[in-house]
Amino acid sequence: MANFDFNLKKFNTSNIYSYFLSHPDATKQDLASALNLTLPTVTKNIDYLSELGLIEVSGSRGQTGGRRATTYSLCSEAKVALGLDITKHHVSCVVVDLNGKIISFKRNYLVFEYNDAYFKQVGDLLKEFIAERKIDESKILGVGVGIPALVQSDNRTVFYSGIMEFEENTYDMFRKFIPYDIVMFNDAKASCFAEKWVNKDIQNTFYIMLSNNVGGAMIINGQVYSGNNFRSAEVGHITLVPQGRQCYCGQYGCVDPYLAATNLSQDDLEGYFANLATTKDEKILDNWNRYLDYIASTVNIVRAVLDCDVILGGYVGAYLEPYMDDIRKRALKISTFDSNADYIKMCTYKHESIAAGAALHYISEFIQTI
């Protein structure tokens, strides 16, 4: 019986806390009505969560002159998580709160090298970021690291890295210079997790990350699917053009060399898309049209195999909103089954999704403990 009471209390506490994650504020009466709980139960849990510093009084609600009901809100910065996005030439740092919102971020130029000096610089950049943003270190849950490599389910062991020379002991290299708990994620899987965070109703979806490399992630029944060998959804290595351009993996004609963001710009996508809206340069426009056709072809392959929604994300995905109708029309032209292409969606999490998705691992774990 005691165990039953404990589980029921934890269930109620978790439900009340989760309610605040999706509502800016609530009264005790709101919680009792929405969660079918008694007011005494709500009051005990409000007191408990307040003592933990996880919720706070935020105001009041009611008629002027009458007794106003106290409102409570989430203390979104009671705990935070840090995220890193590691690329060939940059390291992005982010801090996210308990709502999954990016509080602050910074992108740093740093050329990747697999040696102590490089990993020390990463650690130093993170320390500077924490100091500059005045982050209370006691609130840091951990550091999630997104890398362009495949990682085992332990979130520590790299087992494939064709883009950058990450080795099996990469986790230990980070641990030397970062004094917090660390987990590592494939960049596309991390980015997809961020997308799932802001779209909690997603059930079956394929996420295509159009960044300096092309990655993918699958969500099946609301969960990121890893596959039998932790290399699922590697859309960047589907053959798009037989005997075509050479991919970094050594094969020819993969999606990656055709849809990598570097096909559009080496280092200034914002400038590229600003210019694209008005340019009359035929070379730029021809290249962009080919790029759109390659997107449509890749999407069509995914759709034919999986019959699910497809989200376009990554560095390029953040700028695709004005072109979504065009992409859908191109996909429809080569589709066998679809009569509309509303299944092609633009990402919601447009910037720093890799670092944020890696950090959200810790936010998710923390919430599950409440």
Backbone angles phi, psi at 117, to 5 degrees: -60, -40
In angstroms, the CA 183 to CA 171 distance is: 8
CA angle 37, 41, 47 (to 5 degrees): 130
Is the same domain home to 101 and 39?
no
Biggest alpha carbon distance in the chain?
A: 77
Is the same domain home to 28 and 154?
no
Is the same domain home to 230 and 266?
yes
pLDDT in single tens digits along all 370 residues of the chain: 455 455 778 889 999 999 998 899 999 999 999 999 999 999 999 999 999 999 999 988 876 556 788 999 999 999 999 999 999 999 999 999 999 999 999 999 999 999 999 999 999 999 999 999 999 999 999 999 999 999 988 999 999 888 888 988 999 999 999 999 999 999 999 999 999 998 888 999 999 999 999 999 999 998 888 888 888 899 999 999 999 999 999 999 999 999 999 999 988 999 999 999 999 999 999 999 999 999 999 999 999 999 999 999 999 999 999 999 999 999 999 999 999 999 999 999 888 999 999 999 999 999 989 8
Of residues 148, 152, 232, the one with CA closest to residue 190: 148
Is the same domain home to 363 and 225?
no
Is the same domain home to 257 and 280?
yes
Instruction: Specify the pLDDT at position 4.
Output: 47
Q: Are 150 and 158 a contacting pair, CB within 8 Å?
A: yes
> What length does the chain have?
370
**DSSP of 176-206, one letter per residue?**
HH--S-EEEEEHHHHHHHHHHHH-TT--SEE
In angstroms, the CA 259 to CA 254 distance is: 9
- pTM score, two decimals? 0.88
Is the same domain home to 89 and 48?
no
Backbone angles phi, psi at 42, to 5 degrees: -60, -45
Instruction: Specify the pLDDT at position 226.
Output: 85
Instruction: Specify the pLDDT at position 63.
Output: 65
Instruction: Specify the pLDDT at position 55.
Output: 94
Is the same domain home to 341 and 214?
yes
Instruction: Specify the pLDDT at position 260.
Output: 95
The count of domains in the chain is 3
Of residues 147, 166, 169, the one with CA closest to residue 157: 169
Is the same domain home to 206 and 334?
yes
Is the same domain home to 244 and 331?
yes
309-313 vs 102-109, strand pairing mode: unpaired
Domain end point (choices 10, 41, 74) = 74
Burial class of residue 120 (count of CB atoms within 10 Å of its CB; 0-12, 13-18, 19+)? middle
In angstroms, the CA 59 to CA 67 distance is: 13
Of residues 178, 163, 166, 189, the one with CA closest to residue 129: 178
Instruction: Specify the pLDDT at position 61.
Output: 81
Is the same domain home to 29 and 138?
no
Domain end point (choices 74, 97, 119) = 74
Is the same domain home to 241 and 341?
yes
CATH number at residue 109: 3.30.420.40
In angstroms, the CA 70 to CA 59 distance is: 6
CATH number at residue 67: 1.10.10.10
Q: Are 227 and 237 a contacting pair, CB within 8 Å?
A: no
Domain end point (choices 74, 101, 117) = 74
Q: In the chain, helix, strand, coil percent, each to 5?
A: 45, 20, 35
Is the same domain home to 234 and 305?
yes
CA angle 48, 100, 8 (to 5 degrees): 35
In angstroms, the CA 134 to CA 193 distance is: 27
Count of CB atoms within 10 A of residue 76's CB? 17
Which residues form the domain of 143?
80-191+353-369
| Residues 40-75 as b or e (16 or more Cβ within 10 Å = b) | ebbebbbebbeeeebbeeeeeeeeeeeeeeebbebb
